[in-house]
Amino acid sequence: QVQLVESGGGLAQPGGSLRLSCAASGFTLDYYAVGWFRQAPGKEREGISCISSSGSTHYVDSVKGRFTISRDNAKNTVYLRMNSLKPEDTAVYYCATAHTPPDLPCAEIRDYGYWGQGTQVAVSS
């Protein structure tokens, strides 16, 4: 059974940190680009970071310098380390996979095939 499962969400204080995991089962992540997305209440889902199969990365400006995406192919898992969290980071976070050229980290959202169920992140004091 093909699955992506996100974990690691929860409640954090402003300035705090969380590490999200995106674990794949039923297929190998090695040849996929992986994107992290988030959706806040009443807002559209937005892509925030992505990583290519070769490890090239991309971040949107709102998370650049605070979030770090990485992959561990041996564990079939992609991570999103989130530091210096802000209340506006509160959202449900999703990971998804896409086929891209090895050095291209991101795809159009419509090209992401497998999606996880999401993990809630809340940043509040």
Please report, as a single letter, which amino acid is at residue 76: N
pLDDT lower than 70: segments of the chain: none
The pLDDT value given to residue 119: 98
The pLDDT value given to residue 1: 87
The pLDDT value given to residue 3: 94
pLDDT in tens, 38-69: 999 999 999 999 999 999 999 999 999 999 99
Long-range pairs for 84-89: beta carbons < 8 A, 24 or more residues apart: 84/15, 84/17, 85/12, 85/13, 85/14, 85/15, 85/16, 85/17, 85/18, 85/121, 85/123, 86/14, 86/123, 87/14, 87/123, 87/124, 88/40, 88/62, 88/123, 89/38, 89/63, 89/121, 89/123
Please report, as a single letter, which amino acid is at residue 4: L
The pLDDT value given to residue 45: 96
